[in-house]
Structures are given as C-alpha cells and as structure tokens.
Amino acid sequence: MWLEILLALVLGFVIYWFVSKDKEETLPLEDGWWGPGVRPTAGEDESIRPFKVETSDEEINDLHQRIDKVRLTPPLEDSRFHYGFNSNYLKKVISYWRNEFDWRKQVESLNRYPHFKTKIEGCALNDSPVGLAAYILEKFSTWTNPEFRDLEDGGLERKFSLDDLLTGVMLYWTTGTITSSQRFYKENMRLGNRHEGIKVHVPMGFAAFPCELIHVPEKWVKSKYPKLISYSYMPRGGHFAAFEEPELLAQDIHKFMGLLERQ
C-alpha cells in the first residue's frame, strides 16, 4: 500500500512538472497614479509628439544665480570619492559649468536629432543644480569603475568630457525630471523578487561589462532568458557602457543581430 501511495505521488509530481514547465508566468500590469491630487476620470493624452530642445536667457540666468549661491562643505581629509562626490573637485565642475559650459551650443547639437515626447505621470525635484550634478555625476565615476573612488577627481574625465556630462545634467535640470526618472527603481523595488523567476522567451543578447555593478554569469542569464543567443564578456566598460564604450557595444549588437538572422 505504501509503495502504491509513493508511486502515485511520484506520478503526480511528474505530470505536474510536464504541465507547468512550459507555462509562462507573467506579472500583472498595474496603472498607478503619480500626479498630484486624485486621479482625473477623463482619459489622459497619450499621444507622442515631436519637439525641439529649447532654452532662454531666463533659464540660463536662473541656473547661474543658483550656482552662485551654492554652499559647499569641505570634504573629509583624504576621502577622495569614498563619501560621495568630492567637494574640492566639485568646485572645478561648478566653475566650468558657470563660466565655460555653452548650453546653447549643446541645444543646437541635440536638435540635430529628432526628439519625441509624451506625458509621463510624475512630479519633479528641481531645487539645487549643484546638488543634482553631484548626485548624478558621482554615479558616472563609481559606476564606471569602482577603483575611481580612490581618485580625488573620481576619474570622471578619464572616460567622459565635462561638456557631455553637464549636458546630461542639464537635461534633468531644465525638464525637472530627476524624480520621475526614478519611478522605474521605485516600482521594481516594490515588486521585490517577484520578477526574478519569470523567464523571458524572446531572443536575447547579453554584453557583460567587467565594471558593471553586478556581474551575471552566463548560466544565470540563460536560466532567465532561455533563448540566449549571444553572451559576450567585454574587455572594458561599466554601467554606462553605451556612453563610455559605444563602439564595443555597437559591435556586440551587430554580432547578436548576425547570429539572430542566421537562425
């Protein structure tokens, strides 16, 4: 009798495994409200519209006034970038931003490309341009290479130019979107680990950059992306690989597409 029960349990497990193994688990889509007050009952404008980047004397003058009023605290002795953005080096960035950076020139350069916008739910935090710059640019230091923490200037200009970095900061500052840009992180943290075990059944290419925040071995990638076509361990690069090493990333994308087309 016990043998029959054991066989029935084993058979039941095998049947369950075969039935469930190909079932694709999905996360429910939710539509939260990030705007002020109660969510309006009328439908929202979800159209996607072209636009040009613009600036004005008022916008630039306001930025300069806020930069001029900044209050910096001296860094801890020999702290380098271990306590965030080093305020001694921040003085250089601020001086360049205030006296040499040409936002109008960058606007002209940005407008060489088509841009589109739509309405995204979200509020904005837009009080201190220097605080915003320190918050963003610290990541372009330590997320590019963790060893840059040991440098007084955070190694920022080893990989990027101040013009390029400050143009990125200006996109957040002039649009007031640093808060809404973080919605992705907030909502994924709320989900916890629910999405980690869900497989993604589309062709996948993975470029593993050595200084990325977390290294994901090929076997781990394949367990989530069963249709992994290409896994490349790159010779250099970090979290902002498309900005830092665009040629390496472009080559790997071409490699992935070639493999996909031959399937």
d(CA 110, CA 49): 17
- DSSP annotation of 201: -
State whether residue 26 is helix, strand or coil: coil
Task: State which amino acid sits at residue 81.
Answer: F
User: In this structure, what are the phi and psi dihedrals at residue 259, rounded to the nearest 5 degrees?
Assistant: -65, -40
pLDDT of residue 19: 47
Residue 88 near residue 152, CB atoms below 8 Å: yes
- Whether the full predicted model's pTM is greater than 0.95, yes or no, is no
Contact criterion met (CB below 8 Å) for 162 and 101: yes
Angle between the N-to-C axes of helices 129-142 and 87-99, in degrees from 0 to 180, rounded to the nearest 10: 120
Q: What band does 105 get if pLDDT is binned at 50, 70 and 90? A: very high
Which one-letter amino acid corresponds to residue 120?
A: I
For 160-207, the pLDDT digits (tens) are 999 999 999 999 999 988 887 887 777 767 655 666 778 889 999 999
**207-225: per-residue pLDDT in tens?**
999 999 999 999 999 999 9
Burial class (CB in 10 A: 0-12, 13-18, 19+), 134: buried
